[in-house]
Amino acid sequence: MVEEHGPDQDAGKAEAVDALVIGAGPAGLMAAETLARAGRRVVIVEGKPSAGRKFLMAGKSGLNLTRAEPLEAFVAAYGSAAPWLRPMLEAFGPEDAIAWAEGLGQEVFTGSTGRVFPKVMKASPLLRAWLRRIGAEMRLGWRWTGWEEAAFAFDTGAGRRLLSPRVTVLALGGASWRRLGSDGAWAPLLAEKSVALAPFRPANMGFAVHWSSHMAPHFGQPLKAVRLIAGDRKVRGEAVISARGIEGGGVYAVSADIRDGAPLALDLLADREEGWVAARLAERPAKRTLSKHLAQALGLDPLKRALLQEFGRPLPEGPALAALLKALPVRHEGPRPMDEAISTAGGITREALDPSLMLNALPGVFAAGEMLDWEAPTGGYLITGCLATGLWAGRHAAMWNA
């Protein structure tokens, strides 16, 4: 049961609590439930007036909870963080994420690409059921601002409050969508305590493009049956063109490579071999315009033809044009601002943590979720990673100072 208040407190005196969890996103709620199930008395503190705001936002796009694929492939999606996160994902992987959602009364379905969603395609029923089940006291509108001597200090509607926990789990999220609570303002608080942090960087984000005025009629349109190419990585997916630039699932999938320096290109005819494209181009009757031929013989829609002109002019002829259609370089101005990103890389480094996810510099303080320095593509890896690290931190925290 979740309670939404805190007791009156003498000014300046720290209230003793058993287990403290700061941050009521998926990582913090999982840590809190795990601690409560282990018999700890848990207080969850959340800066916003309600829990799980980013989780609810994820629900607006259907809430991709996890991905139904073999564990090896699943773990590999975490890139350089895979060896670090492996034990946590073995303890809580895709099947566990599905069982967890079903345990909260949510039937799930698996889409054609293996992505798993609740059938209702939203997060609110799941979150409501979870908050009812967790078994912790919740203090909303309590914003953690650092330490006062050994006590955790909070700004609350009723003034400054201090808590003195026996064990703590921090689950404050990354540094995007600050209006939903995850503003990364915790980073300097931990840096002051000598916790090693990697700088925040956008992850799963779009890229800014300075379009010519010819592109305006196409804003808002989806780019279908394309392949996004970022150096060696080629991903079939969708993208959306907007006044701001280019974004969407296919772009997010290659966004880390592009952020780290790989050039972005588009294969506009993902279903066709380059030889087929070259042969069709060679069949153009002398009287037919190129634009008409691209539409009729190659099936290029107006958006794809506009992109070819935007990035490919002056257009080459023959096989060179076929090659361009299969790998059209996209000129962009770099990632869109970090606050728009689906997630962020950076945060607490693995060197700052012991294998139980306890901060080496702060014994008794554990950390979980997106505030740790790992990143993964969209596709359910983010939420599963947050739940897995929340469970791991909660399990180990439950044994601390019990």
Ligand X SMILES: Cc1cc2nc3c(=O)[nH]c(=O)nc-3n(C[C@H](O)[C@H](O)[C@H](O)COP(=O)(O)OP(=O)(O)OC[C@H]3O[C@@H](n4cnc5c(N)ncnc54)[C@H](O)[C@@H]3O)c2cc1C
Instruction: List residues binding ligand X (CB under 6 A).
Output: 22-28, 45-48, 53-55, 57-58, 61, 63-64, 143-144, 171-173, 177, 181-182, 185-186, 342-343, 369-370, 378, 380, 382-383, 386
What is the spatial distance between Cα 35 and Cα 22, in angstroms, rounded to a whole number?
A: 13
CB of 401 to ligand X, least distance (A): 22
CB of 59 to ligand X, least distance (A): 8
CB of 58 to ligand X, least distance (A): 3
Phi-psi sector, 296: left (phi>0), alpha (psi -120 to 50), beta = alpha
Question: Of 155 and 301, which CB lies nearer to ligand X in the complex structure?
Answer: 155
Question: Of 106 and 310, which CB lies nearer to ligand X in the complex structure?
Answer: 106
CB of 340 to ligand X, least distance (A): 9
Question: Of 32 and 325, which CB lies nearer to ligand X in the complex structure?
Answer: 32
Question: Of 140 and 325, which CB lies nearer to ligand X in the complex structure?
Answer: 140
Question: Of 47 and 245, which CB lies nearer to ligand X in the complex structure?
Answer: 47
Which SS3 state, helix, strand or coil, does residue 44 take? strand
Question: Of 50 and 291, which CB lies nearer to ligand X in the complex structure?
Answer: 50
CB of 318 to ligand X, least distance (A): 43
Alpha-helical regions (H) of 134-214 = 186-191
Question: Of 235 and 300, which CB lies nearer to ligand X in the complex structure?
Answer: 235
Angle between helices 26-37 and 124-133 (to 10 degrees): 30
Which SS3 state, helix, strand or coil, does residue 231 take? coil
For tokens 């370089």, name the residue.
329
Question: Of 141 and 312, which CB lies nearer to ligand X in the complex structure?
Answer: 141
What is the spatial distance between Cα 350 and Cα 279, in angstroms, rounded to a whole number?
A: 52
22: closest CA among 173, 170, 180, 188? 170
Helix (H) or strand (E) holding 84: helix 82-91
- Alpha carbon distances (Å) from 267 to 34, 35, 214, 250: 46, 49, 21, 12
CB of 324 to ligand X, least distance (A): 33
167: closest CA among 47, 52, 34? 34
CB of 146 to ligand X, least distance (A): 9
What is the spatial distance between Cα 23 and Cα 13, in angstroms, rounded to a whole number?
A: 23
CB of 69 to ligand X, least distance (A): 14
Helix (H) or strand (E) holding 27: helix 26-37
